[in-house]
Amino acid sequence: MELIDQLKSEYSEISYLQNAAALMVWDLRTYIPPKGAENRAEALGYVSTLAFKKAVSDEFGALLSQLNERATQEGLTDDEKAMVRVATKAYKRARSIPPELHHRFSVLTSKSERVWERARKENSFSSLEPYLEEIVDLSREMAELYGYEENPYDALLEGYEEGMTARKLRKVIEPLKSELIPFVKKILDKGTHPDTSILQGMFSKRAQEKLSRRALKFIGYDFDAGRLDETVHPFTIGIGVNDVRVTTKYVIEEFTPSLFGSIHEGGHAIYEQGLPISLKDTPIYGACSLGIHESQSRMMENIVGRSKEFLSFFYPQIQKAFPSNFRSVSLGDFYRAVNNVKPSLIRIEADEVTYNFHIMVRFELEEALMKGDLKVSELPGAWNAKMREYLGIEPESNRDGVLQDIHWPSGMIGYFPSYMLGNLYAAQIYAKARQDIPNLEKRIEKGDVLALVDWLRKNIHAVGRKHEPERLLKVATGKELDSSYFLKYVIDKYSEIYFI
Ligand code: ZN
């Protein structure tokens, strides 16, 4: 057998195991009977470890090093070269951490997640503090082992967004800060604020579900290759080819969280449904990066879902679903209400204008922790100071501050920037799609989102992991990452909404 065919066959075994693990995760997070969860979690751990062990085995390493030899490389197609590149990078990264450190870190983080749940409930940062200290210590140790050029933080960032560095992030953050801080102030001081009380009421779960399904269909989600279920914490999960599932959460007093949540998850899901089937079970069948993944969900949720065009088509259906609530509410009032800007303490409740500030707070703090410029004990104070600086508000308790996210207790330092990158990528990619597709806005106004989806399929989804995120963005949009697209998008949109 040719070496590259060996790689494909080894990799298909890895992906079958990953499919099995994903199905177990989906079940654990949706419908598993409560008593079954403990045993299932053990089985899941075993299956995931099998996949991991296979991908880091000496045999797999030997195969990859043969594939990386020049003579072999010359006989490979571009796709095959990409498979070798992606598999080799993942292999080296995983192998650079000794198994015992890996084990220590996963035991520590699963404990610390449980401690965090209580610490948050009891508003007690001090009970989490020793765990975070150890997480930072081990993360610094791992960063040294992964290796980096300039900044230990970069070594962690690399695990979520290949090629990204703190320096590059700062470059895109600076203009966001200098433009958006005064812009938010202007909105708050001079803007005409929408009436958001029109969004409150009683909304039956059944009607909400129907609406979510309808919206998902409009954005191109294929129900024959997925399903929609209900959970406490909404998520999307790709179980395998033609099986990408989404979940949402229904709140009776308000239907917009389920609607926009479904559209958000739908954006993630159509990305995975659009991955190149010809490359299935290979290392490059997958999303390019977390940031690119998030760009697809945010584009659908915010740029499309909360646009005047989409709503001018979809709002009549909302009125039909909830006639007593919206019969006498105009499209304009509804559009403005779902685009309300309000600095909030909680990241996941933030609007599109203020969201990135939440990420800047976290990015600057976690980078300082990694560089040793900040101690864990100083986190709550530093958090509050940054919140005041960027958002003009400060939490009264750590529960609404430094304790709100699970990421740090889970050991995911370096994850947060991908949310912000998602916003920036989305605006840049959408700007290019708008240039390429004639009358895109008019089409969306008529309910045709599929022209956009087709463009995304071709330029983003079908690429899988053939390119690194930086290259994908360059090929798809012709430009390097540039925050001015996002700035123009939010400033134009919200100046109109707030009459400023
Ligand atoms: Zn998302």
What's the CATH number for 166-497? 1.10.1370.30
- How many angstroms separate the Cα of 350 from the Cα of each of 82, 338, 353? 37, 12, 8
Residues classed as catalytic: 265
Gyration radius of the chain over CA positions? 23
pLDDT band at 73 (very low <50, low <70, confident <90, very high): confident
Q: Mean pLDDT over residues 183-195, rounded?
A: 97
Helix 256-273 × helix 290-298 angle, to 10°: 130
331 Cα: distance to centroid of ligand 1 (angstroms): 27
pLDDT score of 244 more than 90: yes
The residue to which tokens 């560095």 are assigned: 165
Helix 125-146 × helix 355-371 angle, to 10°: 70
Residues of the chain with pLDDT > 70: what percent? 100
419 Cα: distance to centroid of ligand 1 (angstroms): 8
94 Cα: distance to centroid of ligand 1 (angstroms): 25
Q: pLDDT tens digits for 296-326?
A: 999 999 999 999 999 999 999 999 999 999 9
3 state DSSP class of 343: coil
Residue 232 has a pLDDT of 87
112 Cα: distance to centroid of ligand 1 (angstroms): 24
Q: pLDDT tens digits for 2-59?
A: 999 999 999 999 999 999 999 999 999 999 999 999 899 889 989 998 998 998 999 9
- How many angstroms separate the Cα of 135 from the Cα of each of 7, 139, 149, 399? 35, 6, 22, 20
- Could you give the residue range(s) of every CATH 1.10.1370.30 domain in the chain? 166-497
Q: How many CB atoms lie within 10 A of CB 310?
A: 23
Residues 162, 168, 173, 176, Cα dihedral to 10° = -100
Q: Mean pLDDT over residues 442-463, rounded?
A: 97
The side-by-side arrangement of strands in the sheet containing 228-230 is 228-230, 243-248, 236-240
pLDDT score of 1 more than 80: no
The residue to which tokens 């962690």 are assigned: 156
- Dihedrals φ, ψ of 248, to 5°? -145, 175
297 Cα: distance to centroid of ligand 1 (angstroms): 6
Q: pLDDT tens digits for 157-168?
A: 999 999 999 999
- How many angstroms separate the Cα of 384 from the Cα of each of 131, 166, 208, 324, 397? 21, 22, 37, 42, 10
- In whole angstroms, give the CA distance from residue 321 to residue 192: 29
Q: Mean pLDDT over residues 174-182, rounded?
A: 97
pLDDT score of 391 more than 90: yes
pTM of the entire predicted model:
0.96
Q: Ramachandran region of residue 417, left (φ > 0), alpha (ψ -120 to 50) or beta?
A: alpha
Residue 99 has a pLDDT of 87
Q: Mean pLDDT over residues 452-479, rounded?
A: 98
Residue 268 has a pLDDT of 98
268 Cα: distance to centroid of ligand 1 (angstroms): 7
Helix 125-146 × helix 99-121 angle, to 10°: 150
Tokens of 102: 């890996």
pLDDT band at 140 (very low <50, low <70, confident <90, very high): very high
